[in-house]
Chains A and B, each alone.
Chain A
Amino acid sequence: MKTKTIVAIMLTMLLVTMACAFPVKANPSTIKIGVIGPVGWPQMQGMTEGATLAKEWINSHGGIVIDGTPYDVSLSLGDEHAADMRPDLGAAEMERLCDPTRENVDFVVGGFRTECVSPMHEVSVNYHKLFFISGAATNQLIDCGKFGTPQACGKCVKCDYNKYKYMFRVTPINDTMLAYNILGFLKGYVLPYKLVPLYGQQLDGDPELDIKTAVIAEDLDWTINMYNMFVYGGYLGPQANIVYSARTPWNALDFSSYLDSMHAAQVRLIVHIFSASASMAFISQLAGHPLKAVAAGIDVLGQMSDYWIWTGGKSQYEAFLASTGTRSPITESSSPYTTTQFWDAYYTRFGHAPIYTAWGAYDAIMGMRETLQTHSIHPPFDQAKTDLLIPIVELTDRVGTLGRFRYTSTHDVYSNEFGSMWTLGYVRAVWVQWQAGRLEVVWPMDRPYSKIYALPSVSGKMYPYPTDVNQEAKVDTADISAIGYAFGSKPELPSVPPHPRWQFVADVDRNKIIDGNDNTMVCYDFGKIVDPLPLLYGNEAGHLHS
C-alpha cells in the first residue's frame, strides 16, 4: 500500500511537471508586455501605472491594429529586486517574463537599479526580447565609452551591437547628459548670477570669486561618473570651490555628520545626487540645520507629488532635475495625450503625479504601438521578428509626452540641450524647484511655464529679504513689475491648472495669492538696497537700508 502511494505521488508529480513544460499557448489576440522594476518603490509604481494607462487607452481604442487585426495589450509584472538588492532574483524574474513556457511576453519595459538591470539585460538578450529601459540612467548600459580600447566592457550596445541590440533607453537621459544639464544650470546660471554676486569670495588673492560647494551622492553605479566629474574633474567650473564631498550609503538614515562638516566648511551650494528614500532624510535634516546652503542636484523621489507631504514642506527651495514640473505643458502636439492631458489622466486615475518612470513606460508602449501599426509584423515576436523590428524601432522619431523623441545610433535617448533655452524640442531634463507645494520648472528659462528660481528665504537662510523679489540686492521697479505681472494669481492644487502667471517669488507675504499686500510690502521697502552680505558664514548681518 505504501509503495502504491509513493508511486501514485511520483506519477502525479511527473504529470504535473510535464503539463508545466508545455509551451504556454499565447493568446493570439494579445500583445503581452512585461513591466519589471523595483516592487515596493515608487519607481515601479510609476512604471506600472504608466503602462496601465497606456494599456487602458489602447484597449479602449480598438487595440493595436496590425494589418487590420486588433491586438489587445496585457501586462505582466516582475520584480527586479532592487529593494533588497538581489540582482540574481531580478534576473530570475526576467527569466520568468521572457520564458516561452511561462509568461512569454512580447517585449519588456522597465529597469531601474543599474545593478539589477545588467543581469536582466543578459536574460533579455538570451531570449531575444526587446527591453525598453524606463528608469536606469547609467551610460554603461548602452555605451561604456571605451569601445575600441582594452577597457571596453564588451557588454553594452556599443561594444557588441549584434548581441546587445535588444536594449533601448526611453527615459531618463543618460548620466552624462544629466551631468551636462547640472552644469548648464549651476555653472551657467546659479553660480554666476545668483550665488557669486551675493556670497562670492576670493581666495588667496585670486581675482575670481567662487562659492564653497559640496557634492554628496549615494554610492551606486549611476552616480559614479557624475560624482567624479564634479569632484575631481572640475566640471562645475572655477566658481564652484569644492570644499566637501561625500559618498553615502544608498539607504543612509542620518546625515548629521555630513551636514555638520558642510556647515564647518561654510558651504553655500550642495550638489546632491540621490535616487532612494535617503533623499528625504537628507532634505528634511538640511531644512532643520543651520547650514545656509541651497540644494541643487538630482533627487529622483523629489518628483513625486507626495514628496511635499512626506517632507512636511521641508523640500521648499530644493531644486533638481526632472522630466517635467507639476502639470507643465512640455508639449501640446504629442498624441494621443499631450503632456498635461497625460498628467490629468494619470492624476485622475491614480491620485498622484507621475514620476519619470511612468512617462517612460507610457511612451515606450505608445511608441511601440505606432511602430507595430505601421509595419506588418505580428506577434508573437520570436527572434526573427524581433530582429526585423529592431531597425524599425531605431528609426523612431515621434513626439512623446516629454518632447520630441528619437534614439541615438546606440539606442540611447537622443538629447542635445542643457542650456537656458529649449529650442529644438528634443527630450531633455528640466530643472524644477519646489515652490509653495508645486514643482515649478526653473530651467530652461524660455518656456512660458518657467518660473524664477528662488534662493531659500525661510528663517533668513540664504536670502532674507522677500521684498527684493528677484533677489538682485535692491528693491526697485523690477520687483514691482514682477508682482504686477503675476497680480491676482494663485498656485492652486496640483490637479487644477495653475494660473499661468503665478510666480512664487512675487508672493512676498507667502499667503498663496499675489495681491495688493505684496505690492504694499515692496513699496514700503522701495529704493532700499541690501548690504553686501558678509563673507563670514556664521553671522550674516546684511540688512536693507536706504
Chain B
Amino acid sequence: MVERFKFQISAMCDDLASAMIDPSVIIVQGAITGAIYGLLALGFTLIYGVARVVNMAHGALFMLGAYIFFALGPLGMFRLEVAPALILAAISLGIIGIIIYRLTVHPVTGDVLAAIVVTVGIAMMVQQLVLIAFGPNYQPVPPFIEGAATFGGTTVTYSRLLAFAVSLVLFAVVLIFIRITKIGSAMRAVAQDREVAMLMGVNTTTLYMLTMAISTSLAALAGILIVSSTTLVAEPYMWQQPLAISFAIVILGGLGSVKGSLVGAFIVGYAETGVAYLIPEGGYLQGAVALGIMLVILLIRPKGLFGKHIELE
C-alpha cells in the first residue's frame, strides 16, 4: 500500500511537471464550474441565512427537481415542451418546499440540530419515494441545446454555458431581490433579529415559507440544469454529492452569505478544475483538494470568507 501511494504521488508529480498549461482551460472551465456550483449552493445558503435552517434535504430536492422535469418534459409522461416543464418543475418544488417547511421544519424552528435531523429524514424519504415512483432506472434529462463553443484551448457545451448564464442571472436576481424589495428587506430584518422583526409586524412564518419555496425552486433549477449538462440522467442516489458540495461551499463562503456562496463556489470550482487539468492522474482527488482548501480557509477565518449573515448583504 505504501508502495502504491509512493507510485501515485510520483505519477502526479510527473503530471504536474509535464503539463502543457493552457490558461484558458482553467479560467473558462473553472468559472463555469464555479458558477454552476454557486447555483447549487444558493438555495442552501438562502434558507439558512433567513430561517437558520440547515436544509440537509437540499440535495434530495435537487434530485427531485430533475425527476419532476423528466416526468413533465418531452420524454416523460406529460410530454410538455422544455420551457413549460422547467417552469412547472421549479414551481412544483416551491410548493413542495412550502409543504415540507410547514409540516416538518416549522415545528422545530429555532432548534438547528432538530432541523438537521428532520431534513435528513426528509431526504431519505424523498429518495425512497423516487425509487418507488420511478424505480431504479435512470431517467433521461437531455441537454436543452446541442453543440459546443470553443474558447482558446477549451470547449464548452452550450448546455453548460446556459447553466453558467442562468446561475449568474439567478444570483443577481436574488441579490437584487434581497436588497431592493420589501420582502427582501423583511428577510434581512428577520435574519438580523427575528423577535424585533416580528414586533415590526413581519410575519416570520410566512416569510420562512416563502424563503423555503425560493430555496427549493432554486434547488430544482440547479438539478435540472446540472443534470442536463453533465450525466444526462436522473438517478435515485444522485443527491448525496450535490449536498456535500453545497455544504462545503456555504461553509467556505460563510453560512448565510449569498455573496460568500458565490465566491466559495468559484474557489471550489477552480480548485477542482485545476486538479483535473494539471494533475489528471490525481483527478479523483479533485473533491478532496477543494475540501482541503476549505479547511485551510476555515482555519484562518472560522466563520468563512464572508462570515456574516444575510442582513448585511
Binding site for B on A (CB under 8 A): 39-42, 44-45, 83-84, 216, 218-219, 244-254, 256-261, 263-265, 277-278, 280-281, 284-285, 288-291, 306, 309-312
Contacts and interface: CB of A to CB of B under 8 A. Distances in A.
> Which residue of A265, A281, A284 has the most chain B CB atoms within 10 A of its CB atom?
A284
B107 interface: no
B281 A245 contact: yes
A256 B154 contact: yes
Contacts of A44: 136
A446 to B, nearest CB: 35
A234 to B, nearest CB: 15
Contact of A260 (B22, B75, B281): B22
11 contacts: A40-B131, A40-B136, A40-B237, A247-B280, A260-B25, A264-B20, A284-B143, A290-B150, A306-B137, A309-B75, A310-B233
B216 interface: no
Given A256-B29, A264-B22, A306-B137, A281 B232 contact: yes
B29 A264 contact: no
> Which residue of A244, A285, A311, A312 has the most chain B CB atoms within 10 A of its CB atom?
A285
Contacts of A280: 138, 231-233
Contact of B232 (A249, A265, A289, A310): A310
B305 to A, nearest CB: 24
A265 B226 CA distance: 28
B253 interface: no
B275 to A, nearest CB: 9
> Which residue of B25, B29, B283 has the most chain A CB atoms within 10 A of its CB atom?
B283
Contact of A249 (B156, B281, B283): B283
Contact of B276 (A39, A250, A257, A265): A257
A139 to B, nearest CB: 15
Contacts of A291: 155
Interface string B235-247: 1111011000000
Nearest to A312: B142
Nearest to B233: A310
Contacts of A289: 148, 155
B104 interface: no
Interface of B: 20, 22, 25-26, 29, 32-33, 75, 131, 135-138, 140, 142-143, 146-148, 150, 153-157, 160, 226, 230-233, 235-238, 240-241, 273, 276-277, 280-284, 286-287
Given A45-B137, A246-B280, A256-B29, A288 B157 contact: yes
B284 A281 contact: no
> Which residue of A45, A247, A256, A285 has the most chain B CB atoms within 10 A of its CB atom?
A256
A310 B155 CA distance: 22
Nearest to A83: B237
Contact of A309 (B140, B226, B281): B140
Given A84-B240, A260-B22, A306-B137, A249 B284 contact: yes
Q: Please list the 10 inter-chain residue pairs (A to B) with the smallest Cβ-Cβ separation, ordered nearest first.
A: A246-B280, A219-B284, A83-B237, A253-B230, A257-B277, A257-B276, A40-B236, A281-B231, A248-B283, A260-B154
- Determine chain B's interface SS by DSSP, over half rule: mixed
A285 B157 contact: yes
Contact of B140 (A45, A253, A312): A312
B230 A254 contact: yes
Contacts of A263: 153, 155
A17 B230 CA distance: 49
A284 B232 contact: yes
Contacts of A265: 20
A290 B277 CA distance: 17
A288 B146 contact: yes
A217 B105 CA distance: 42
Contacts of B286: 249
Nearest to A216: B280
Contacts of A45: 135-137
Contacts of A41: 136, 235, 237
Contacts of B277: 257-258, 260-261
Contacts of A84: 237, 240
A222 to B, nearest CB: 14
Nearest to B235: A277
A281 B231 CA distance: 4
Contacts of B22: 260, 264
Given A277-B231, A290-B148, 10 more contacts: A83-B237, A245-B280, A254-B33, A256-B273, A257-B26, A258-B283, A263-B153, A277-B138, A311-B232, A312-B142
A310 B140 contact: yes
A367 to B, nearest CB: 26
A250 to B, nearest CB: 8
A257 B235 contact: no
Nearest to A227: B281
Contacts of A251: 241
A263 to B, nearest CB: 7
A39 B282 contact: no
A287 to B, nearest CB: 10
A259 B157 CA distance: 12
Contacts of B155: 256, 259-260, 263, 288-291
A261 B280 CA distance: 9
A42 B137 contact: yes
Contacts of A249: 283-284, 286-287
Nearest to B155: A289
Given A285-B157, A290-B150, A247 B232 contact: no
Contact of A253 (B146, B147, B226, B273): B226
A212 to B, nearest CB: 13
Contacts of B237: 40-41, 83-84
Contacts of B135: 45
B308 to A, nearest CB: 31
Contacts of B140: 306, 309-310, 312
A253 B280 contact: no
> Which residue of B75, B131, B154, B232 has the most chain A CB atoms within 10 A of its CB atom?
B232
A42 B138 contact: yes
A261 B22 CA distance: 9
A69 B289 CA distance: 61
A455 B142 CA distance: 25
Nearest to B75: A309
A260 B284 contact: no
